[in-house]
Copies of this chain bind each other. A is one copy, B any other.
Amino acid sequence: MATVTDKRRQILDAAVRVFARQGFHTCRVADIADEASVAYGLVYHYFSSKDEILDTLFLQRWGMMLEAITEADRSHHSAQGKLRAIAGFIVDSYRHNPDLMKVIIVEVTRAANTFGRTHLARIREAYAQIAAIVARAQAEGVFREEITPEFAALAFYGLIEQILSGWIFDPDPVRDDELERAKDMIVLTICRGLEA
């Protein structure tokens, strides 16, 4: 009984590695099966299509992301503290499983013509929650009002994604202290800006 789940998990984990390494379009279902050390056909026993594997990976991870944002929003932190919690969660996600984050970002959130469009609504939930945090901070007079909450949310998330992109492109693994510092720099940049 546990076998079922094991093999399924095995396939998902293998898919992450293969998608990260070769990209979704470039890899074949056979590559996933090979990487997972399971028979070709078994992939189709657990998933109805290659797309569904990526959908599953994204939905699982993005669900955790939304929970993390909700969690952050529920906390008693300041607006800046909430953004710091979110940035921290995303960076930690990368630390914990960089391949998965690469796949989520490269193959889904930035894939405007394919999976990005499919999951658009779900992706925007995150932006909306972040925007809500910003809006409330503006109402409290903590954040400036010239910048719309929606714009701010995109800016915040886009900034983070680009930093992660830099790491993703980098052949060398990123050092832990660099990850840690990045969390602070993200928040500092988005809250206080570059100007001295």
Q: Which residues of A contact B (CB under 8 A)?
A: 22-26, 79-80, 102, 105-106, 110-114, 116-117, 120, 134, 137, 141-148, 150-152, 154-163, 165-166, 168-169, 182, 184-186, 188-196
Q: Is the CB of B188 within 8 A of A190?
A: no
Complex: A116 Cα to B137 Cα, angstroms? 37
Residues of chain B lying within 8 A (CB to CB) of residue A190? 155, 189, 193-194
- What's the least CB distance linking A89 to chain B, in Å? 18
Residues of chain B lying within 8 A (CB to CB) of residue A111? 106, 110
- What's the least CB distance linking A105 to chain B, in Å? 8
- What's the least CB distance linking A132 to chain B, in Å? 14
Q: Is the CB of A163 within 8 A of B169?
A: no
Complex: A43 Cα to B133 Cα, angstroms? 50
Complex: A169 Cα to B118 Cα, angstroms? 11
Residues of chain B lying within 8 A (CB to CB) of residue A137? 194
Residues of chain B lying within 8 A (CB to CB) of residue A144? 188, 192, 194-196
Residues of chain B lying within 8 A (CB to CB) of residue A196? 141-145
Complex: A172 Cα to B161 Cα, angstroms? 25
- What's the least CB distance linking A108 to chain B, in Å? 11
State whether A169 and B23 are in contact (beta carbons under 8 Å apart), knowing that A185-B148, A191-B195 are contacts in the complex.
no
